[in-house]
Structure 1
């Protein structure tokens, strides 16, 4: 089949992975397999290896099974605050010495808080792998929890909230705002960035309790990707992590979301915005179901790329906006979350275009999509775009994209090998499944509309 694979950056990927959209019965039928070795330490730490000697670099990633979705109810923003605390010193590394250690050895590092995990990672020359493992184990074993460190990071996080949300036009729109309007369960609907009063209220006891509860080896996964020797690395991991004590984990929170039965429409004023905006969100099917994978392909057809239907209608035909943005899980991708999720889109539009006109075009496009028959050509196009995005993600940032998926599947499914099943799951989706999913989920009863209006008044 003569189709061209699109991939950001490297055209060679289409030669490596091919573009054949024919179905396969097992992951072995595909040309590329991510190497996966998976085991657990006696203390419960999950360990994933993915060896790749293409370049003399390694990625070390530690993911903790705690995100802002299940942070304490009177401590909004606490999961994010704690991410900052993890750089404030440990038993053998003083304040910010972890950062210096990585950077002085030619590496880069970062951390982030997402819906269902908090992660930390380093990318280093391969011969510095042992250093990274030792350092991650050092801070997993204990933090420098002091009043000065807490007060300092409370100020840093509050300033981040002010800069990125409160004092920013369209700050938090729609990634932070929409879950608060579309969801009902507090765990899914609270302000993840944190209310300033809650951030101020955090105490040393809160920090210590949070660390002892969630930052334990039996609530974490360690991923190593890149140029390393497995036996040697296994020995280092056992030496540095093997004696860390496990913790008694609390009962799993009920993060289920009740089924939405009527459309919701909200208006939010923004005193810093110069033009109005509109966001729409539909509740996603349950993760790992056929409908879930079908929604991934629907996202490709409706929202991703210049050829997507909503971009065609809003940008090319109506000229209401320069782009329609969005997708599944705006704080990551459709694979690295574990709970209720939204498929979301948004656009900033001209002031003379009323929001009713935006909604009317959205309705027309969705009705057109759900009423017509899905052709095999449509499905093939979605599969090629999805495959391109998937492999772009796997190769992203020197192997971190691969580490991210491996860690997520280990945390959520106890099965990092799922990384090699994704393409096959998408290929199982037929035109009939895709059409049925669109008819069930892309309905007004499952939708929330958020209208952002510029205003000169204080919020």
Structure 2
């Protein structure tokens, strides 16, 4: 799966999380770029103040080798080297424990496999992201202030983010405080409570967040892109939701209770603990604190998106001075850890958009027609999009940039990639990924992403095995299948001096 990157303002304000093409694995945060492949939103508590965790996922590649089987060491040749222990509570909640040599420290994550894709009822988009907010509102036992005070006293970082496919709550904290962490976390998942006033206040905060994010030109571009590219599937709206739904949200208190009771259930949840812990202690505490969480999950009936039959385009005017942007997107299959075609898309990403790639060198270094260009597959649970995003130096260069991108794509379609070059890319991906597994939080993030997208399983080893199967002929074939004119949606944005003030269009995501 493609790498996620978060753009964060230098002032520490909430980041605008948009889509940018994923970066090669192992690279650090890019402050000037927009985020990778899926909207996600984050809320944070630290021992001093609410803050951002700038990079949660070192890479979006699903990474959990031992979930589906008995615990044991990784075998020779596997890239995930840790023992994985798992158990399922009677109520269906899945538990994953990965002991790691991090004296006194653990990472604690709860994966809810509910994101904006689950928002199937018309007029009610945005509620998955809304509950990322509300889960910090407190319960009868631990009010919002009491919960925040506990986090401060622990010296912990607690945060959450929402994407199209999942909502993940994550924390790094002292391992000695695991019983207290189990207590406060289980309490809010089982007993979240808020009145209509709190509901309206938070829904207005979500609208304010949307209004702030829509001031970034890529936000309305992505909204328009998804609105064009999808006709039936709920990926048509981005994670914040359609703006008209956000504005109406304060009127849907009763619906919010229904949404929470439907999706925030143990059968839809996985607890992941990584670090200085003993599996038997984690399992015992989880049973004590989460064991009475009542079942009741009802999966959404997600509509199937029909194949796109013709090229779609849109042009947006932007009222403020900016270099123009172009986003090109192509429908892709749902993420699969084992499918060669899915793995080939990751390698195509590297062949086109790594800093050593001829396309990148041509547009960024030699001609300097773009400020940046990036691309990659979204890697969603359901069929997603391969995105290409560039910020162009002038309006007149937009057609030339598109022509150049298409020319290099055509080369992939017609000319076999040098096998040695392909093997170097595979090797780089493997070792960069291995180097990223250096903290409990990073390891837990890999496990969480695997659970969120695949539901569990030996995704990382399967994925790297799939990489090894990809041949130059596969690169050609997949390039031909994906990068077709009828499968393409293009949105451009440019500054027009007489354009009206920026207005929100369907979609969005970011979380303060």
Q: Matches of 2:458 and 2:242 in 1, distance apart?
A: 38
Distance 1:371 1:196, change over 3 A: closer
Q: Which residue of 1 aligns with 2:384?
A: 341
C-alpha separation in 2, matches of 1:38 and 1:28: 21
Give the match for residue 52 of structure 2. Answer: none
Q: Is 1:419 the equivalent of 2:460?
A: yes
State how 1:67-216 maps to structure 2 within 5 Å. 67-71=115-119, 72-165=121-214, 168-172=215-219, 174-202=221-249, 203-216=252-265
Contact 2:325 2:392 in 1 (8 A): yes
Find the aligned partners of 1:99 and 1:389 in 2 and give their Cα distance.
Answer: 36
1:333-369 Cα deviation digits (max 9, x unpaired): x4xx311211111111122534222221111111122
Q: Cα offset for 1:60?
A: 0.7
Structure 1 pair 89/258, CA: closer, same or farther in 2 (3 Å)?
same
Q: Distance in 1 between matches of 2:462 and 2:491?
A: 36
Q: Which residue of 1 aligns with 2:344?
A: 294
Aligned partner (choices 352, 358, 361) of residue 312 of structure 1: 361
Q: Evaluate the alpha carbon distance shift between residue 255 and residue 273 of structure 1 in structure 2; reply closer, same or farther with a 3 A threshold.
A: farther
Distance 1:316 1:248, change over 3 A: closer
TM-superposed deviation, 1:259: 1.6
How far 1:298 sits from its partner (Å)? 0.7
Change (3 A) 1:135 1:420: farther
Deviates more, 1:59-68 or 1:174-183: 174-183
Write out per-residue CA displacement over residues 265-309 of structure 1, whole angstroms, 9 at most, x where no aligned residue: 211222134221111111123321210011011111111x31123
Measure, in 2, the Cα distance between the counterparts of 1:256 and 1:388.
37
CA distance in 2, matches of 1:310, 1:147: 53
Instruction: Work out which of the residue numbers 369, 376, 380 in structure 1 matches 2:419.
Output: 376
Q: Verify the 8 A CA contact 2:412 2:475 in the aligned structure 1.
A: no
Which residue of structure 2 aligns with residue 274 of structure 1?
A: 322
Whether 1:357 and 2:404 are equivalent positions in the alignment is no
**Structure 2 SS opposite 1:322:** strand
One of 37, 42, 54 as aligned partner of 2:90: 42
CA distance in 1 between counterparts of 2:114 and 2:286 reads: 22
CA contact (8 A) 1:170 1:272 kept: no
Shift of 1:109: 1.1
Number of the residue aligned with 1:243: 292
Rounded Cα–Cα distance in structure 2 between residues aligned with 1:359 and 1:376: 27
Give 1:221's aligned residue.
Answer: 270
1:457 correspondence with 2:499: yes
Structure 1 stretch displaced more, 381-390 or 257-266: 381-390
Q: Write 1 or 2 for the structure with the bigger share of helix.
A: 1
Alignment of 1:392-403 (within 5 A): 394-395=437-438, 398-403=439-444
Change (3 A) 1:327 1:173: farther
Does the Cα contact within 8 Å between 2:78 and 2:461 map onto a contact in 1?
Answer: no
Q: Deviations over 1:43-63 (max 9, x none)?
A: 010111111023431111111
- Higher RCO by CA contacts (8 Å cutoff, separation 6 or greater): 2
Q: Structure 2 length normalisation: TM-score?
A: 0.78
Could you tell me how far apart the structure 1 residues matched to 2:101 and 2:107 are?
Answer: 12
Please name the residue that 1:433 is paired with: 474
Size of the alignment, in residue pairs? Answer: 427
Partner SS for 2:273: strand
Q: Distance in 2 between matches of 1:265 and 1:238?
A: 52
Do the aligned partners of 2:104 and 2:276 also contact (CA within 8 Å) in 1?
yes
